[in-house]
């Protein structure tokens, strides 16, 4: 099924297999597995069973095994998965061994928080530049980085080989910023501004919209309320996430 060659035994030097094409749903879960794996590694575990890792990541164990099987056979039957080996594999697949350069546009309320977020660096990303259009903010230092004017973006992006851009500007400016990023060669965008961005097909956009998340929760509140209010009176369950804590 997988057209890729799998390295035989650990110890095989950094030879990388052909790039497998993973299902999108699997890709979205790999980061969660990776986080759980790092946690396990810190506690000294050398191997994990699919059951254990699945619990730590909050998913079904069968799903986890199928996901991992897409990367190749990195488990040992009767034993489990080698934690360190699996971490390396997942990080390789996700391209995290490159320590990717990221730039942030819009150093306002939210941008300030993002610029100071330690979770970037610890998970394989380097924020290398901050941009804003407000001259009052240009020149400020945030978390050791100087805020530059957005007009400098193309030059800086080229110098630093920035492939990922984060948009934290007001919605009205988001499309314009996206256009600047795309023109500068950025091929991945994480957008915090509500609204739909229009970009060329070779550019990937992911959106984080806080209000949407809350509205989805609001819907479920509404649903739960209408259920308990109805004759049945059953407080019907609606499980969402469950797993063992640390």
Ligand X SMILES: NC(=O)c1ccc[n+]([C@@H]2O[C@H](COP(=O)([O-])OP(=O)(O)OC[C@H]3O[C@@H](n4cnc5c(N)ncnc54)[C@H](O)[C@@H]3O)[C@@H](O)[C@H]2O)c1
Binding annotation for NAD(+) = 106-111
Q: Binding of ligand X at residue 108 (CB under 6 A)? A: yes
DSSP class of 193: S
Q: For residue 229, what are the contacts with CB-CB under 8 A and spacing of at least 6?
A: none
CA 219 vs CA 81, 223, 225, 230, 246: distances in Å? 39, 6, 10, 17, 30
Q: Write out the binding residues for ligand X, residues 212-241 only, by CB under 6 A.
A: none
Q: Which one of 17-25, 60-68, 88-96, 165-173 is the stretch in contact with ligand X (CB under 6 A)? A: 165-173
Q: Which one of 6-14, 90-98, 125-133, 181-189 is the stretch in contact with ligand X (CB under 6 A)? A: 125-133
Q: Binding of ligand X at residue 132 (CB under 6 A)? A: yes
| Binder of residue 60, out of its own copies, DNA, ligand X, none (CB less than 5 to 8 A by kind) | DNA
| Binder of residue 74, out of its own copies, ligand X, DNA, none (CB less than 5 to 8 A by kind) | DNA
- DSSP one-letter string for 31-78: HHHHHHHHHHHHTT--EE-HHHHHHHHTS-HHHHHHHHHTT---EETT
Nearer to ligand X, 93 or 103 (CB): 103
Number of residues that bind ligand X (CB under 6 A): 28
Is residue 93 within 8 Å of 30, Cβ to Cβ? Answer: yes
**Three-state secondary structure readout of 117-135:** CCCCHHHCEEEEEEEECCC
| Binder of residue 79, out of DNA, ligand X, its own copies, none (CB less than 5 to 8 A by kind) | DNA
DSSP class of 241: -
Token pair for 160: 């630093």
Q: How far is the CB of 23 from its own copies (least distance, A)?
A: 12
Q: How far is the CB of 198 from its own copies (least distance, A)?
A: 5
Q: For residue 5, what are the contacts with CB-CB under 8 A and spacing of at least 6?
A: 17, 18
Cβ burial, residue 121 (10 Å; 0-12/13-18/19+): exposed
Q: How far is the CB of 44 from DNA (least distance, A)?
A: 17
Q: Write out the binding residues for ligand X, residues 42-61 only, by CB under 6 A.
A: none
Contact residues: ligand X, CB under 6 A: 105-111, 113-114, 117, 119, 131-134, 137, 150, 168-171, 173, 176-177, 192-194, 210
């Amino acid at each position: 099924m997988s057209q890729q060659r799998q390295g035989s035994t650990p110890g095989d030097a950094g030879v990388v297999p052909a790039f497998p094409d993973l299902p999108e749903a699997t890709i979205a879960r790999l980061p969660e597995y990776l986080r759980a794996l790092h946690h396990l590694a810190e506690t000294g575990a050398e191997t994990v069973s699919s059951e254990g890792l699945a619990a730590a990541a909050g998913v079904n164990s069968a799903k986890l095994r199928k996901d991992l099987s897409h990367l190749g056979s990195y488990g040992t039957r009767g034993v489990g998965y080698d934690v360190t080996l699996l971490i390396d594999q997942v990080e390789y697949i996700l391209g995290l061994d490159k320590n990717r350069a990221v730039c942030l546009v819009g150093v306002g309320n939210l941008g300030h928080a993002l610029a100071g977020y330690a979770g970037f660096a610890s998970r394989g990303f380097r924020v290398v530049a901050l941009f804003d259009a407000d001259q009052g903010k240009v020149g400020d230092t945030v978390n050791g980085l100087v805020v530059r004017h957005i007009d400098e973006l193309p030059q800086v992006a080229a110098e630093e080989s920035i492939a990922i851009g984060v948009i934290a500007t007001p919605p009205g400016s988001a499309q314009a910023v996206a256009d600047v990023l795309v023109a500068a060669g950025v091929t991945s965008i994480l957008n915090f501004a509500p609204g739909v961005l229009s970009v060329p097909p070779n550019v990937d956009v992911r959106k984080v919209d806080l209000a949407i998340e809350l509205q989805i929760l609001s819907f479920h509140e509404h649903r739960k309320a209408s259920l308990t209010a109805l004759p049945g009176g059953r407080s019907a369950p609606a499980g969402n996430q469950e797993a063992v804590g640390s």
